[in-house]
Structure 1
Amino acid sequence: MSVTRADAARRWLTRADPDLDHAERWFAQTGIVLMPLGRQWDAVRVNGAIAEAVLDEGIEGPVIRDHEAVYFLVGLGTSLSWNAPHSEGLGVACYVTVPAPERTAGPGVHWAQAPDGNGQLVDAARLHALLTAAHTETAR
């Protein structure tokens, strides 16, 4: 039996939950699960037009869209020193609503860019540079 990209992504995502059965159950029943940050990844929250501008630049990696906020999944520890404008680094003691890998359209929480199951995260340095450039552009 071959493993699909969605299956691989689901397995990768559930490893972020201390209780794998919890994540699987919620994905199956509701298509979303509240997961802790700081176990598999951290996240950077960006709101509104700035988030859309960053996505338009073609940044790679998993990105969750939740109403006005966009969450870029980044490496562990990124939140500890995060200081880019128009954003907030989130890590240990924070949670994010994670959609099932196949939820790639709204309404509701969905992937702007779904994970591939290989563990690729958003490049935090590139994200920081894009946010800094967007801040400079809006300040003009």
Structure 2
Amino acid sequence: MTAFHQPTITPVERWLAKSIKDPESAFRDWRDGRPAVLGVGILFDAVKMPQRLVHAAAGAPEQSAVAAALAPLGGPVIWSPPGWYLALVPAGAAETWDSPHASALGHSTYLTVPRLDRTGPSGIHWAAPPKHARTLCSPTAVAQLLHVGHERQGGTR
């Protein structure tokens, strides 16, 4: 009989999974190669940024340019088809979010979150993987990135 060894659950995965009542379901999904559906508004909120603005702010759509543009946000960002970047920001940020260039997801919403090793280039993946539990993007930096992208597109919607 072959013994099955449970993969080690990282502190980041443990922290993310605390956003739902059944963290084990997230661990199972990630272990089986699927993204997990996590709750927003308890541990983190999310800002849903249009890909066109992020790419404009980065100056190019290439993964390296986007990664460099996302680095100053200071936290994790997910890329989700068909073209959204989702910056994880502190819980409560959605209540005061005022940028006209993106919407914020807060309490009572859910977010599809890939395994930590899914870093692209296709399908839902981490455009900026989380480095530590509880480290999140600065809402001010996210708003600034969106403003830059908007201005680089000529200030049009």
> Aligned Cα RMSD in Å?
2.0
**Any idea what the Cα deviations from partners look like across 1:36-79, whole Å, max 9, x if unmatched?**
10011000001122123264433221000002011000001110
**8 Å CA contact retained: 1:63, 1:113:** yes
Q: Does 1:43 align with 2:46?
A: yes
TM-score (norm 2): 0.77
- Larger Cα-atom Rg: 2
**8 Å CA contact retained: 2:16, 2:38:** no
1:139 is paired with a residue whose SS is: coil
Q: Does 1:66 align with 2:69?
A: no
List runs of 5+ in structure 2 lacking aligned partners. Answer: 1-7, 59-65
Structure 1: 4+ residue segments shifted above 4 A:
none
What is the aligned-residue identity percentage?
29
Structure 1 segment 66-105 matched on structure 2, within 5 A: 66-67=80-81, 68-105=83-120
User: What is aligned with 1:121?
Assistant: 136
Q: Which deviates more, 130-139 or 94-103?
A: 130-139
2:113 is paired with a residue whose SS is: strand
- Distance, in Å, in 2 between the alignment partners of 1:117 and 1:15 is 15
Size of the alignment, in residue pairs? 136
- Distance, in Å, in 1 between the alignment partners of 2:150 and 2:98 is 12
Per-residue deviation at 1:115?
0.7
**8 Å CA contact retained: 1:79, 1:89:** yes
TM-score (norm 1): 0.86
User: What is aligned with 1:19?
Assistant: 22
